[in-house]
Every structure is written in structure tokens, then in C-alpha cells.
A and B are shown apart, each in its own frame.
Chain A
Amino acid sequence: MKYERIIDKGSVWVLAAPLTVWAGHFLLSYWVGAVWCAKGWGPLVDTRIVMVVLTLSALLAVSLLARIARQRYRGVLVVDEAIDDPTENGRTRFMGHVALMLSVLAAVAIVMTFLPTLVFERC
């Protein structure tokens, strides 16, 4: 494979992915809110249903990423574990660990982005 380090083995993309999902969810939430309000689609499909679907998909995506991260990390979760052995194995585990933490952060952030839809019902 050509871009081994980026695409697959010990890869970097799992690091960037969770927060990218959060950013996408954030952007889509605003777009959906704005478009639904502007077009008056509320009666057709409740904005909140769209938001719930959006949020659940984002959480699902993040949890899949978390699974990948978990597989890389292996072992029992220690939040501030220092993984510093200069080996391929250490590298993979380190990336997994960081990606796992970022997944948790992204999930919390996605939930926080979603919360306003629960409280406000109007445009």
C-alpha cells in the first residue's frame, strides 16, 4: 500500500476522524435548522426528528471510530497512560489511545450541540 502510515497501519486518520464527525454534525445541524426554518418544513418533518437522526448517526460514526481506536490501543483503559516505547507496537497503541479519548470528547460535544433542539421548539 502506498500511504500505509496514513491510511492503514498505525494510521493517523483515526485521530482526525472523531472531531471531523463532530464538525460535520455541527455544520449540518445549523444548515438543517436554517433550511427548515426558512422553508417552513416544520409541519412536514419535525426539525427535531431530523436532528435526532443526525445526532444518532454522528454518535454511531464516532462509536465505530472508537471501536477501531480501542482495537489499536488494546489493554485496560488508563486515562493518562504514558505510552512512550519507541516501537511500532507502542506507536499503534499510542495512536489508539489518543483516538479513543478524542472519540469520547467528540461524543460529548455532539450531545452538547444537540441539546438546544430539545429545549427550543421554534425557529
Chain B
Amino acid sequence: MRFHAEVSAQGGGPRRDLGVVSERKPWAAPAAFRQNRLRRIAAFSICALLLGGCEGAHSMLEGAGTGAAAVERLFWVMLAAAAVIWAGIMALAFHAARIKAQPEREDTAEKFVLLGGVVFPTVTLIALLIAGMLLLRGMIGGEPDLHVAVEGEQWWWRVDYRTPDGDVSTANEIRLPLGQTVELSLTSTDVIHSFWAPALGGKMDMIPGRTTTLKLTPVEAGRWGGVCAEFCGTAHAQMRFEIVVLPPEEFETWLAAEARPAAPAASADGQQVFLTAGCGACHAVRGTGAAGTAGPDLTHLAARATIASGILPLTREQLRAWIDDPDAVKPGALMPAFPDLAPAQMEALLDYLTGLT
């Protein structure tokens, strides 16, 4: 379900109007004006609601996966039911305020209170509880077509695929085949993180020393956003990821490419810098001897669209800024700064990194 907003994203229009209105003394406002004001307040509230981030790669209401679609259905049903109940109660309250007391109908009133105030909520809540649990059970789903292991680390995501051609390790970008069910094995190496791609499905904690699982079945191709949903330290808010949903053939092609060792160095000097500067102590580039595991595998870095766990586009300039001082780009990032690389070394290193397709 998509909402289309009709005013600018800041809601500037209506807010400005309200500002003008509030300069008038309310008691001096003529009736027509008051009504107008009410209408504007209502319009503004509705716009704010509609604008409330209902659309986009991070939206729960995109229905890009079966899990999200199921939750969305429950959401609308509950919202509609709540609206009906609310309207009913309000109508009753108005009615009750207007009628005269009728002591002879005390018994009926009592029954009404008992039924409407005790029995009805109890039954409704139990029904909702059961509906919610059945939905959860449905989301546990059947046999998966694919397994992917995801590990939360301060403050990025290690993503591992097991393929017949060998293990593939990448980071912060999870590619999935359209229409297939993937089982994600989730864990963490340090503190509790939580894996959440709202457009696709549910949310699941990643707990050190434990493996939790979450199944996703993407039904819409595209680039979807994900976040860490459990506060995990300084850069928690910058711990994002992307899920790229591809047609199955494209996915297979990509996976096969990822399983291959790194492309021949685009810059031999750059590779030399990479190895001598010590990048290889933390980063692996398969086929070069660099086999560090403290940071993301960079074997096919240039095939990704972002760096630093989804917060920066992968461009030469962003890479430069990142290597120069990761902490300035992403406060708290656990990669040391390399401010001492000579300009020529930096250029060669960037040539090398952007050549890791």
C-alpha cells in the first residue's frame, strides 16, 4: 500500500498557515474563521500522518516480502477495527452525555457495562492474540530454498553464502533471489543487534553465542533498506544494510561472480599499498594473501553500492574520506584512520579498491 503525499515533505505549507492563525486571539475569531482553523488543523494532522514515512525502501507498508505483507494486513485490520470501536465509544459517550438519567433502566445499563466493558474487550483481545500468533506461526514458514548467515558486528553486517564453488563472504549488502524463501541464520560477535528489513519481513534479535533464524520471501524486486533495531553502541544509528532482490538468474550470476577470487589488481601499486599499510590484517581480499577477518571482506568491494554499512555511496571520493578518517565519517567506527598515506599512494589504493569488481 502506498500513500502519496500532497504537500512538501516538510509540511511547510500548512504549518506556515497555522502560524498566521495562532497570532489571532482565539476568542476574537469569528465562527467561520474558527471552523477554517479546525479544518486546517485536521488537514495538517492528516498530512503529517500520511507523510509519516509510509513509503520507501524502509517502509513496513511496501509489502515487498510475504512476512511484511502479512503484518501489514494485520495492521490494517486492527486499525480499521480500532477506528470502528473508537467511533462507537465516542458516539456512546456523546449519547450518554445528552440523555436524561433513567433509574428504572439501571439493570439494562449494568448488563451493557458488563458486556461492553468486560466481555467484549476480553473476547476481542483473545481473538487478536490468537490471530497474531497464527500470523507469527505462518511467518516461521516452510523449508527454505537458500541459507544465508548474517553476523552483526559493531557496526556492520558480515554476510556469508555457502555455494558449491566455495564460501562467499560479503558485507552490508544482502542479495536475494526473487520469490524464493531464504533462511537467515543470525548471530553476533559482540553485543545484541537486531536485524530488520521492514519492507520485507519481521525483526529478529542477533544474540552473541546464539543463532536465531528469520525467513524472508521477497516478492518484489528492488533495493530495500534495513537497519539495526537494537541499540548497540556509538554508531548504532549508522548500522544499516541493503537487501537487493534480483530475478533468480541474475542472482545466480552474481553469486557465481562473488565466489571467484578477486579480479586481477587494477593497480599493482595499489595492491602493494593495501598490503603494506596493513589493511590485510583486518580485511580479506581472496587471492591476494590478505585474509583479515576483523573488517568486511573486500574481495568484490566494487560490486557493492555502499560502504560503511549502507551509509555512504561507494564512490572514489567517499572511499578516500573513509580511509583518511573513518571516525569522521562514522563516529565510533572500529577502523583506524590512515592520514599518513602519500597522495600518490592514496590514488593507487583507490584505483585498486575501485577495481575490485
Contacts and interface: CB of A to CB of B under 8 A. Distances in A.
Interface of A: 78-80, 108, 111-112, 115-116, 119-120, 122
22 contacts: A78-B110, A79-B110, A79-B113, A79-B114, A79-B118, A80-B110, A108-B122, A112-B125, A112-B126, A112-B129, A115-B126, A115-B129, A115-B130, A115-B133, A119-B130, A119-B134, A119-B136, A119-B137, A120-B133, A120-B136, A120-B137, A122-B140
Interface of B: 110, 113-114, 118, 122, 125-126, 129-130, 133-134, 136-137, 140
Contacts of A78: 110
Contacts of B134: 119
Given A78-B110, A111-B126, 5 more contacts: A79-B114, A112-B125, A115-B130, A119-B134, A119-B136
Contacts of A108: 122
Contacts of A112: 125-126, 129
Contacts, number: 26
Contacts of A80: 110, 113
Contacts of B137: 119-120
When A and B form their complex, which 6 residue pairs have the shortest distance between CB atoms, in order from nearest?
Answer: A119-B133, A79-B114, A119-B137, A108-B122, A116-B133, A115-B129
A122 to B, nearest CB: 8
A78 B125 CA distance: 24
B141 to A, nearest CB: 12
Contacts of A111: 126
A112 B121 CA distance: 13
A78 B118 CA distance: 14
Contacts of A116: 133
A108 to B, nearest CB: 6
A116 B114 CA distance: 27
B100 to A, nearest CB: 21
A85 B129 CA distance: 41
A115 B134 CA distance: 11
A112 B129 CA distance: 8
A83 to B, nearest CB: 15
A80 B113 CA distance: 10
A108 B124 CA distance: 13
A111 B122 CA distance: 11
A96 B136 CA distance: 41
Contacts of A115: 126, 129-130, 133
